[in-house]
Structure 1
């Protein structure tokens, strides 16, 4: 499964250079921009789609922020709230598939990556809707008006036609996996060729000469990820040989005999670690310990995988080391503290949805089982 990572990274860089985030944002602005808090809602929806394409929270924050932060501020949004909205919505990048975090989890636990991808769809959409609700309520309270752009049906259709190639990318990947046409690794290769095709021949924003620079950027990003994976694997092997993993697992099992209590406690541990570490490091640090714990409590590993990644996603916009917050603060030339303060309502909503996902396994298991990708 790890072979899929560099291909998904390459596809994300191609789409970023093709400047498709602007195309997607323009479509959503015509569609829902006139509503109360319309530009904020547009930002969330754009982050959901762009996150599915890039798979990176900071990259999504930067791409969408460069397009929508200035218009949001011009329409009266407090710049810290605008930054917090995009930073938090970008968390969805590692929940909504295809997700590198799910690939890492599947590699560690031997759970089907295809099933994990499909299992993240409903929780990802639910988290996105929760973020939209927070934007709407705060915008209504503060009087943030919608965009002055009121798209006619013809304009909306034209914008859809222009953006449909970009929007179709996650549909192609997930549809192929859901229907069993290709594996996640094959889907990653398809994503690269499809992204290259639309970037060069449809949108014509990438040249063959520019493709060399894209390969360099993708190679650097992939190398960083794979180095983390390699050294984390060494740490895991050492911990196993020294008996640290077994001792830690036994300690967790003895804390409480109740599976629900254990899940909630580990959720808060993940939220805490997510404030300081990245998702890949936490996955290799904790999952070897949690695998025997899941077996002891008879907790479904696919269901828990969605819980695990959802908890880690929240950490990307949680101080003191929330990478999305720093990216957003840099874009608005503001301080991280003010952006973090505005992010609190979003974090509360994310935690509520995390608890819901933790208590209702069907949200994560229904689609993979329906697609015959997983059998508990």
Structure 2
């Protein structure tokens, strides 16, 4: 899902006592001990020693992260349009306009994470005028919003304010919203870029997708009481996509030089992950119930303002960036758009969902191929 690297340390089930019941590596250790005829006492002692080593590294990584001095310094940017909690941020640049649409779930900062990890500033330095639609948090105005309100309302009015026609680029969930807006307003969109955008939610594991949809009735009391799906609930839901990832990455961080660029980028990414945004209740119902539970987009049943979203109707040039190591949006889910979008250029990025836009190798994995595609359009 969108976003969905949503697992933060506090909400991660992988750090709770007693769950899961095994850890990677312990099964092979048990097999070696059993094959060697070791007594049960030796097996138990070896298991606890392995767990102690892992836990010590995990705690060391958490401590190193908490005391790291790096802090993001947000720069003031022109705001040519704003409505409610949403605004357009102008990253400058001279040339044709590119409007970038992030997910509704996480903050838009991932596309401008730090000076050396900013896809938006890279594009602005490549002869393009770059705008970012920052959705903001759902306040009292946005809490009743469904996806139609965001697409046919906020996004289309942002498009109108950007001048005519733009290259519309959507990241993750933002790709679905951008695609819907492009179908409704083709005269305002000259080309469409979709980065790690899901389409067939049942492509790789229909059972897991349906199980997420099946959680919706149990979440209804929370949605009704607060008008939103809180950040902690989102993190707990999507941590299950890769339950060992949080502990593993902190163990790896413990071994890094805290002054290294890699360590600073780790801290920047973790700060972003831990600063999530709630999802308006109607949007949560659509995403969990329709996208995951019913696979409505791939079945031609997802509608914006009563109109089915159909990629085959998009005659504009399109670019699909599909990261091969994506655990949030399975590559097969995104690849389903390749056959649905006429004439789409598919770029396979050797990266993960977040790494493709903000990782150490992001420039090579995505930024440069995206710029080459734009250049091929005459931009």
TM-score (structure 2 length as normaliser) = 0.24
Larger Rg: 2
Higher helix fraction: Structure 1 or Structure 2? 1
Higher strand fraction: Structure 1 or Structure 2? 2
TM-score (structure 1 length as normaliser) = 0.24
Bigger relative CO (Cα 8 Å, ≥ 6 apart): 1
